[in-house]
Amino acid sequence: MKIGVIGLPNVGKSTLFNALSKAGAESANYPFCTIEPNVGIVDVNDERLYVLAKLYNTKKIVPATVEFVDIAGLVAGASKGEGLGNKFLSHIREVDALVHVVRCFDNSKIVSVYDSVNPKRDIEVINLELILADLESVDKRLEKSIKQSKQGDKLAKIEVDILQRIKQHLENNLPVRTMNFDLEELKIVKSFFLLTSKPVIYIANIGENDIGKPDNNYVEMVKQIAKSENAEVISLCAKIEEELVFLEPEERELFKEELKIKESGLDILVKAGYSILGLMSFLTAGEKEVRAWTIEKGSKAPQAAGKIHTDFEKGFIKAEIVSYDDLISAGSWNVAKEKGKVRLEGKDYVMQDGDIVVFRFNV
């Protein structure tokens, strides 16, 4: 699953991406620096893995990961092909969620698409272009569904109703993600691949001088918009985050102390990205390695087993499971078992975040 990093040109997207991936994406002081999207695989920082590694005396730790894509900056008119509009929109269509970077600092030395800093305007520019692109898609799909519904296609009739509701919502300049659908409708909406249906995390990119201070007026603007969309806002300084990741661990901690940063903004973002995609981790632990395996929330035990190997899912018998807290409290798997904390679960068991598992299978 992929998360796209979007925003107007020169708001700090590539700087943030550098920090996320250490990939060294080109970051320069002019628009459209990023043309082809850069891709970075980022570890999800999970303290549980380090605790388990000590418990099992292993040095090999394999964390869960999230894939981030740095997408070219967008300008007004992108839905009609302005700037790199067509490429930009096609790249957004390929991701599962969005991180929207918004400039929330004043700095006359950094070129801006506009002459002033205005997060509300910047967010509206991008949202409007995505809405216009979605309206075009909806109109095409609606025309097709109306024809099919007249021929007696029952699914097409349902689609027509949903599409008409979506069209009205978009015409009010509102993204699809702010609409309510039941589970069956949601499946249909996902099949439309609409840009504004994707979940969003807003990044309020603040200046170095604003670190550790109350939110400035720009950040408050972003928070108000996010609240109306039921979206999350993370306030961070992309430039400082980029500097932090290239420091040695000891230097990094000293720098964080100096800046009074408790948790890296990147760690918060990666965890939020993992969550917004509806993902969670189950864990396996032993002397060879400690590993986090990524599954969708609501996955059952056989599906989780299939993440390790397809044979595990095909030949699934049972899963021996202990919660992370119970294992740490017991001090070892055997003691947890003696205390009755290790459970034997079958095919209908719904996996929980932090479950530590041994699968039994037969092939």
pLDDT of 159-168, one tens digit each?
999 999 999 9
User: 266 pLDDT exceeds 70?
Assistant: yes
Q: What whole-number distance in Å separates Cα of residue 175 and Cα of residue 100?
A: 14
Mean pLDDT of 313-320: 96
How many CA atoms, within 13 angstroms, populate the side-chain half-sphere of residue 151?
8
pTM, full prediction: 0.84
| Alpha-carbon distances, residue 50 vs 55, 58, 268, 279, 285 (angstroms) | 9, 9, 18, 20, 11
pLDDT at residue number 80: 56
Average pLDDT over every residue of 332-347: 96
Q: Quote the pLDDT of residue 292.
A: 96
Predicted confidence at residue 335, as pLDDT, reads 97
- Averaged pLDDT for residues 297-311: 95
In the numeric block, the tokens 């990093």 are attached to 5
Sequence-distant (6+) residues with CB within 8 A of 360 are 316, 317, 318, 319, 320
pLDDT band at residue 65, thresholds of 50, 70 and 90?
Answer: confident
Phi-psi group of 92: left, alpha or beta (phi > 0 → left; psi -120 to 50 → alpha; rest → beta): alpha
Residues 6+ apart with CB under 8 A from 228: 178
Other CB atoms within 10 Å distance of the CB of residue 51: 15
What does the pLDDT read at residue 24? Answer: 42
Query: Does pLDDT of 84 surpass 60?
Result: no
Comparison of pLDDT for 91 and 169, the residue scoring more: 169
| 61: its two tokens | 């730790």
The pLDDT assigned to 19 comes to 86
pLDDT higher than 70, residue 76 = no
Cα 203 to chain centroid distance, Å, stands at 12
Read off the pLDDT band of 69 (50, 70, 90): confident
Q: How far does CA 71 lie from the centroid of its chain?
A: 14
Superfamily of segment(s) 298-361: Beta-grasp domain (3.10.20.30)
pLDDT at 102: 96
273 vs 19: CA distance, rounded Å: 15
Kindly report which listed range (201-205, 255-259, 297-301) carries the lowest average pLDDT score. Answer: 255-259
Q: How far is CA 354 from CA 67, 225, 324, 349, in A?
A: 21, 33, 6, 14
Tell me the chain's radius of gyration from C-alpha atoms: 23
Instruction: Indicate the domain borders of the chain.
Output: 2-275, 298-361
Q: Rounded to a whole number, what is the distance in angstroms from the first to the last CA of the chain?
A: 29
pLDDT band at 108 (very low <50, low <70, confident <90, very high): confident
With a pLDDT cut of 70, the percent of the chain lying above it is 90
Q: How far apart are CA 216 and CA 234, in angstroms?
A: 13
Who wins on pLDDT, 76 or 155?
Answer: 155
Instruction: Determine contact, residues 341/326, Cβ cutoff 8 Å.
Output: yes
Higher pLDDT, 305 or 111: 305
**pLDDT at position 12, please?**
87
- Residue 281 to residue 296: CA distance in whole angstroms: 8
Asked which of 152-161, 170-179, 243-252, 304-313 is least confident by mean pLDDT, the reply is 243-252
The CATH number of domain 2-275 is 1.10.3860.10: no
Q: If you average pLDDT over residues 233-240, what whole number do you get? A: 94
pLDDT of residue 39: 80
pLDDT at 248: 87
Give the residue-averaged pLDDT of 212-228. 94
The bridge status of strand 290-296 relative to strand 279-285 is antiparallel
- Per residue in 66-92, is it b (16+ CB within 10 Å) or e — as a string? bbbbbbbbbbbebbeeebbbebbbebb
Query: Would you state the structure tokens that stand for residue 319, as one six-digit string?
Result: 């899963």
Share of the chain above pLDDT 90, in %: 63
The pLDDT of residue 351? 97
The pLDDT confidence band at residue 82, using thresholds 50, 70 and 90, is very low
In DSSP notation, 12-66 reads SHHHHHHHHH-------SSTT---SPEEEEEE---HHHHHHHHHHT---EE--EE
pLDDT at 75 over 60: no
Q: What is the reported pLDDT for 170?
A: 97
Q: Where are the alpha helices (DSSP H) in the chain?
A: 13-21, 47-56, 85-93, 119-150, 154-171, 183-190, 217-229, 238-245, 249-259, 265-276, 301-308, 310-314, 324-330, 333-338
pLDDT, the chain, mean: 88
User: Whole-angstrom Cα distance, residue 338 to residue 352?
Assistant: 22
pLDDT, position 67: 86
Provide mean pLDDT across the span 301-309. 96
83, 168, 6, 101 alpha-carbon torsion, rounded to 10°: 120
